[in-house]
Amino acid sequence: MDKLIIAEKEFQSRLFLGTGKFGTPKIMEDAVLASGSELVTVALKRIDFETQTDNLLEHLHHPQINLLPNTSGARNAKEAVFAAQLAREAMETNWVKLEIHPDPKHLMPDPIETLKATEELAKLGFIVMPYIHADPVLCKRLEDAGTDAVMPLGSPIGSNKGLRTSDFLEIIIEQSKVPVVIDAGIGAPSDAAKAMEMGADAVLVNTAIAVSENPVEMAKAFKLAVEAGRMAFEAKLGRENKTAKASSPLTAFLD
């Protein structure tokens, strides 16, 4: 399989993980390791700066794992930029997953503030990966603003509904010059495989692994599914057919 490159960094794995909702930090660690993921997103809010007793980061302290602080909870560009700066200090990385969602119920991302924050963060030298609605025009504008990837959603976050936005993801993938990472809504390995088959560059999964009865096994399942989907994309799938086509010839030997 060809490799994924974001902002000149090379990734072997096309599966990114979120760290929320796990039963314990240890289960999270085991699941992350089982997934083979090299990019793991962490909410800035979950880091305890003062007491230094927070061990979430300790559990992610492995050579292959890169941290992707996210700005979850930010309601506008200003809050997000501030959060990104704090994260850069705290986690010693200039990568940031930009999340701006003013509505606490549905957590849908704000296109206007996200574009504004992307412009600012890019100027400040951040590697920016914005979480957005599956909006093809917004993706192009984020490119112009200097984004390093786009992270369109598959369906509402945490809904496990899969790739409801596939008609728009197809356009985004066709047009994008930066990597496309499908984020939110991926509820099963089959969804992750499908995203990769469509030509997405990577997927980010959290809820589906964290709330499984067996997060470590589920992480492995996602690992395989992402590889399967990417292999199928590279080997090229056939198309849907309107009429049945027999796999076996019909020259009737019985006549």
Active-site annotation, residues: 97
Query: Measured between alpha carbons, how far is residue 6 from residues 24, 150, 186, 220 in Å?
Result: 30, 11, 21, 23
Long-range contacts of 61-66 (CB under 8 A, 24+ apart): 62/33, 64/38, 65/32, 65/37, 65/38, 65/39, 65/40, 66/9, 66/38, 66/39, 66/40, 66/93, 66/95
Q: Is 210 in the site for its own copies (CB under 8 A)?
A: yes
Q: Is 179 in the site for its own copies (CB under 8 A)?
A: no
**Within a 10 A sphere around the Cβ of 136, how many other Cβ atoms?**
18
Q: Which of 39, 193, 200, 203 binds its own copies (CB under 8 A)?
A: 193
Site for its own copies in 68-87 (CB under 8 A): 70, 72-75, 79, 82-83
The region of 2-10, 52-60, 88-96, 135-143 touching its own copies under the rule CB under 8 A is 135-143
Q: What H or E segment, with its residue span, contains residue 131? A: strand 127-132
Site for its own copies in 231-250 (CB under 8 A): 231-232, 234-250
Q: Is 182 in the site for its own copies (CB under 8 A)?
A: no
Binding mask 22-41 for its own copies (x = CB under 8 A): --------------------
Q: What H or E segment, with its residue span, contains residue 129? A: strand 127-132
Q: Is 218 in the site for its own copies (CB under 8 A)?
A: yes
Site for its own copies in 47-66 (CB under 8 A): none
Helix (H, G, I), strand (E, B) or coil at 70: strand
The region of 6-14, 54-62, 117-125, 225-233 touching its own copies under the rule CB under 8 A is 225-233
The region of 4-12, 56-64, 95-103, 119-127 touching its own copies under the rule CB under 8 A is 95-103
Tell me the C-alpha distance between 86 and 96, whole Å: 11
Q: Which of 111, 126, 147, 203 binds its own copies (CB under 8 A)?
A: 111
CB of 202 to its own copies, least distance (A): 16
Helix (H, G, I), strand (E, B) or coil at 6: strand
